[in-house]
């Protein structure tokens, strides 16, 4: 990869092609993305459709027609009056399960999202805003010819949906718009004036990337596909109902909901409930309180599987695989309790921050397929629910970002990412685990872009703990020369770096830097003793591990120890702040969307009060010293490192006030520093922000390091 500088005026398309933008390269994930960063209850903070900001793909299988459906995500760039504009869009694509060229199924610059196959493989239901009124509706399109037709006419937000087995109905989640919002949109004057005020009664009232949470709740509905008749099955102003799924016999719909008296105060009290398809009394399927994601019903109707944990607190614990009798006749069983492995994808890359595909059943209801994260990879495995014997289906280096299983053809469809590719669809024959790659959407990365070599390293930590790291060398690396270097630190902290593409790393490497990264204690993928190590103990062994990694790298003969930099975002920004307050070994730092003061971090984020679980179980007013002791800003009297501060103005995950304190403290200390703010952007700027702003961000990082390291 040649050195290049990204220009907001001339290099939009080049930037898209170089891999960070999902412009016609990535595919979009139509299922809820259960993010582990900050580890709070996703169900309490859902905005718009639950897949906004999710993984780039969840391929879905279609047995009869031997197709996989997918979702292509792109951007259109135009120029009006000399101003660059950007239009995000997504279309549906199909590809044969045995290979062949992908076929674009829908066209246009609208957003077609969330495709779901009917069970007979003849129709696809999806959401689309193609009506042009900023309101998505459910559409149904025949697979073998014919126009997509809208089957709903509702005002509000649509979420997950699923076809009934007979193809006559669709169950879906929906949140109605308030009457006030509908009236405001219909009145030009009120629409122009906008919202006059906001008034909240719930403690959980905002979500990063979405804004303020409406008071209306998500409920379960059904749709009669032929007539378009919709029926609301669940009601109430307190509880959300999410992720509807049909029972095996089609008589009930099961969903997840926190039905405690105050879900905001007890966010872990998530349970499963079933309701007759024509409405009626709810039936609870008893399960212990705790985080729960991705449930699915076994084909024989006897079991409900899910991923989660039992009990509240212990934020560092692994997620496990569970089953419970669908009729509620017995207690749930944890199928992976004897394994110190985290279920789900916890890997951080350009395509997201980890996610979860619901465990999938085999046709005989004896086996479950699911993801596990370990040592920088995410594998697809299967488990015999009787013997609890686990078999690897798709392993090796790389990350299974998402998957589905088709029991009719005994195949799995997966989105797989490796070190040099943001993601391709692969098909796996579940009888012999043979893989077939079905797409080659990023061939230019392989054929036309020179990328540096990545070396995987295991090294000894400060407490004789084994640690894993990666070293990305510049293109054209010469071992006889010395290079400036940049240490990257991941967010979370419940996450892992690993074997998937990080465009930012390759961009910095292309500027002539050695980029190196590791998974210090506090992250996932290495067992619970690894993740638990920083429970109410931030800035201790995690810092020790990061410094041990730097010690290892700076002893390499090609590293110039006078030209070392450090950067990270979110928790990685926290650790960057901590580092510059405790050592001046780095000649420059870039702290991004960071945390600096845990005292006023409490209650000002969309994580809300849940930080009590992370920092000893008490609020700051009951244990101020615990929060202050672990706050990087406390140690800023020691800072000497020139530091660039980057933050988005609409970041509701880590408030911009955290970086404002950093910037003011740096200036007051006489430290060289600058502050780059991005208006209109959220915590997810680096992956989902407006393209010109993402370009400016990357340029700002490289220019800062160039100033002090070259």
Pairwise CA distance, residues 275 & 231, whole Å: 13
Please answer whether residues 705 and 486 qualify as being in contact, where contact means their C-beta atoms are separated by less than 8 angstroms.
Answer: yes
Sequence-distant (6+) residues with CB within 8 A of 589 are 565, 566, 567, 576, 579, 580, 641, 642, 643, 644
Pairwise CA distance, residues 118 & 614, whole Å: 43
Token pair 């062949």 in the structure block, residue: 100
Q: What is the dihedral of CA 340, 345, 347, 350, to 10 degrees?
A: 180
Q: Is residue 428 packed enough to be buried (19+ CB in 10 Å), middle (13-18) or exposed (0-12)? A: buried
Q: Is residue 480 packed enough to be buried (19+ CB in 10 Å), middle (13-18) or exposed (0-12)? A: exposed
Query: Residue 651: which of 676, 679, 687 has the closest Cα?
Result: 679
Which of 34, 67, 295, 683 is catalytic? The answer is 683
Which of 570, 655, 673, 682 is catalytic? The answer is 570
Q: What are the DSSP calls for 271-291, one per residue?
A: EEEEEETT----EEE---SB-
Token pair 């309790």 in the structure block, residue: 337
Query: Residue 566: which of 494, 637, 648, 632 has the closest Cα?
Result: 632
Token pair of 647, please?
């933050």
Query: Residue 239: which of 263, 256, 215 has the closest Cα?
Result: 263
Pairwise CA distance, residues 36 & 44, whole Å: 14
Measured between alpha carbons, how far is residue 605 from residues 114, 207, 490, 556, 682 in Å?
A: 29, 8, 19, 41, 12
Query: Residue 489: which of 404, 569, 586 has the closest Cα?
Result: 569
Task: Reply yes or no on whether 570 is catalytic.
Answer: yes
Task: Reply yes or no on whether 329 is catalytic.
Answer: no
Strands 434-437 and 454-460: unpaired
Sequence-distant (6+) residues with CB within 8 A of 302 are 325, 326, 327, 365
Rg (the chain; Cα; Å): 25
For the annotated catalytic residues, the residue numbers are 570, 683
């Amino acid at each position: 990869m040649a050195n290049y500088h990204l220009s907001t005026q001339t290099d939009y398309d080049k930037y898209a092609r170089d891999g960070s933008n999902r412009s016609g390269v990535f595919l979009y994930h139509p299922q809820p993305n259960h993010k582990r960063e900050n580890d709070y209850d996703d169900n309490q903070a859902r905005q718009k459709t639950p897949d906004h900001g999710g993984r780039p793909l969840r391929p879905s299988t279609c047995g009869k027609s031997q197709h996989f459906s997918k979702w292509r995500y792109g951007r259109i760039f135009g120029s009006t009056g000399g101003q660059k504009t950007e239009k995000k869009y997504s279309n549906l694509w199909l590809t044969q399960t045995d290979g062949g060229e992908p076929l674009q199924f829908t066209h246009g610059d609208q957003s077609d999202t969330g495709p779901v196959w009917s069970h007979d493989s003849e129709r696809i239901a999806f959401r689309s805003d193609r009506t042009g009124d900023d309101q998505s509706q459910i559409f149904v399109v025949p697979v073998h010819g014919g126009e997509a037709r809208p089957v709903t006419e509702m005002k509000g937000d649509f979420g997950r949906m699923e076809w009934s087995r007979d193809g006559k109905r669709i169950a879906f989640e929906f949140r109605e718009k308030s009457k006030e919002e509908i009236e405001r949109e219909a009145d030009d004057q009120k629409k122009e004036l906008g919202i006059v005020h906001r008034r909240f009664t719930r403690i959980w009232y905002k979500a990063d990337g979405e804004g303020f949470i409406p008071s209306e709740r998500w409920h379960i509905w059904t749709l009669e596909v032929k007539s378009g008749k919709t029926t609301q099955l669940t009601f109430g102003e307190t509880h959300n109902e999410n992720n509807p799924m049909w029972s095996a016999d089609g008589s009930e719909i099961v969903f997840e909901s926190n039905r405690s008296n105050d879900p905001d105060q007890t966010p872990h009290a998530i349970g499963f409930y079933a309701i007759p398809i024509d409405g009626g009394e709810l039936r609870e399927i008893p399960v212990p309180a705790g985080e729960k994601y991705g449930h699915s019903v076994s084909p024989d109707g006897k079991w409900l599987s899910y991923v989660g944990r039992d009990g509240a607190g212990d934020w560092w614990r692994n997620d496990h695989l569970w089953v419970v009798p669908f009729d509620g006749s017995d207690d749930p069983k944890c199928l992976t309790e004897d394994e110190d492995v985290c279920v789900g994808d916890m890997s951080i890359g350009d395509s997201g921050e980890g996610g979860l595909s619901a465990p999938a059943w085999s046709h005989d209801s004896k086996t479950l397929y699911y993801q596990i994260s370990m040592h920088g990879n995410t594998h697809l495995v299967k488990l015999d629910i009787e013997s609890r014997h686990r078999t690897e289906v798709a392993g090796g280096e790389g990350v299974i970002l998402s998957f589905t299983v088709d029991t009719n053809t005994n195949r799995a469809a997966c989105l797989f990412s490796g070190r040099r590719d943001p993601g391709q669809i692969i098909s796996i024959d579940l009888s012999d685990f043979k893989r077939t790659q079905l797409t080659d959407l990023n061939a230019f990365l392989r054929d036309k872009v020179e990328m540096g070599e990545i070396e995987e390293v295991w090294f000894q930590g400060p407490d004789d703990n084994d640690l894993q790291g990666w070293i990305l060398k510049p293109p054209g690396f010469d071992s006889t020369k010395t290079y400036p270097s940049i240490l990257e630190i991941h967010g979370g902290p419940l996450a892992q770096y690993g074997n998937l593409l990080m465009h930012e790393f390759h961009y910095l490497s292309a500027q002539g830097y050695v980029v190196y990264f590791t998974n210090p204690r506090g992250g996932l993928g290495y067992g619970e003793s690894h993740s638990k190590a920083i429970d109410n103990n931030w800035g201790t062994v995690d810092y020790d591990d990061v410094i041990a990694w730097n010690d290892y790298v700076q002893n390499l003969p090609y590293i110039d120890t006078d030209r070392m930099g450090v950067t990270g975002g979110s928790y990685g920004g926290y650790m960057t702040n901590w580092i510059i307050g405790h050592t001046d070994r780095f000649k420059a730092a870039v702290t991004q969307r960071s945390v600096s003061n845990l005292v006023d971090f409490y209650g000002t984020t969309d994580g809300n009060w849940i930080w009590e679980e992370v920092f000893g179980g008490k609020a700051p007013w009951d244990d101020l010293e615990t929060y202050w002791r672990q706050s990087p800003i406390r140690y800023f009297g020691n800072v000497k490192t020139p530091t660039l501060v980057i933050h988005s103005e609409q970041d509701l995950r880590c408030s911009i006030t955290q970086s404002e304190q950093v910037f003011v403290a740096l200036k007051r200390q006489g430290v060289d520093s600058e502050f780059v703010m991005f208006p209109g952007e959220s915590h997810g700027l680096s992956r989902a922000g407006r393209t010109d702003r993402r370009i400016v961000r990357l340029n700002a990082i490289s220019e800062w390091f160039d100033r002090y390291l070259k």
